[in-house]
């Protein structure tokens, strides 16, 4: 098999399973998640998305021109997402002007470091981050109110299609990347998967 995103998923299936199937998400599905757990996730995820938006801007700066449309579409969606997070936080009377927890801080620092990596590495990490949310919110199945709104945001067919296009763009540049760049991309995929698991665990531990 050539070096593709699918190969990464197959090679690191256990790590990816831990990143996308977690008690936090399962308890959202069951409606048993505690408010403290969910609110911790919401605030920390907002702080993450702020830095993720900056990361996507750096991905755009490194991308070939024919990848611009998809990445710019993602940036436009993130503008709406940040506004939506603020609305959800206001409804729950949560303060978004707060400190990142250690797990969130480490993940944000890692995203910042990706700006120095070759574009195939950035594209792989970008795809993996979006896929983790797409699958994480889809796999448990239909969620009850109010968690269905969150699941629908990242689990809807339009977002799934967007993630597939990110995968195609990553595959395109991975195919022709040097072996050392492919290795860096694989390392980035594994790191993203571990960070995603740790992020869910951070919120789950709040309960």
Catalytic (active-site) positions: 196
Structure tokens at 123: 């594209």
Distance CA(174)–CA(121), nearest Å, equals 8
Q: How far is CA 4 from CA 30, 67, 123, 180, 189, in A?
A: 35, 17, 12, 15, 11
Q: How many CA atoms lie within 13 A of 104 on its CB side?
A: 20
Largest CA distance in the chain: 50
């Amino acid at each position: 098999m050539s070096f593709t995103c699918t190969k990464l998923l197959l090679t690191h299936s256990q790590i990816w399973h831990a990143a996308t199937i977690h008690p936090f998400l399962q308890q959202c599905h069951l409606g048993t998640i505690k408010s403290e757990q969910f609110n911790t996730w919401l605030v920390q995820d907002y702080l993450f998305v702020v830095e993720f938006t900056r990361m996507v801007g750096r991905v755009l700066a490194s991308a070939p021109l024919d990848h611009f449309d998809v990445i710019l579409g993602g940036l436009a969606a993130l503008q709406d997402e940040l506004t939506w997070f603020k609305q959800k936080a206001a409804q729950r009377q949560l303060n978004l002007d707060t400190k990142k927890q250690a797990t969130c801080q480490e993940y944000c620092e890692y995203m910042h470091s990706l700006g120095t990596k070759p574009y195939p590495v950035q594209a792989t990490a970008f795809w993996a981050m979006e896929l983790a949310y797409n699958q994480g919110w889809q796999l448990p199945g239909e969620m009850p109110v109010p968690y269905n709104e969150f699941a629908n945001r990242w689990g809807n067919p339009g977002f799934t299609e967007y993630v597939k296009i990110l995968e195609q763009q990553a595959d395109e540049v991975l195919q022709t990347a040097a072996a050392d760049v492919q290795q860096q991309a694989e390392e980035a995929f594994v790191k993203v998967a571990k960070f995603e698991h740790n992020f869910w665990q951070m919120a789950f531990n709040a309960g």
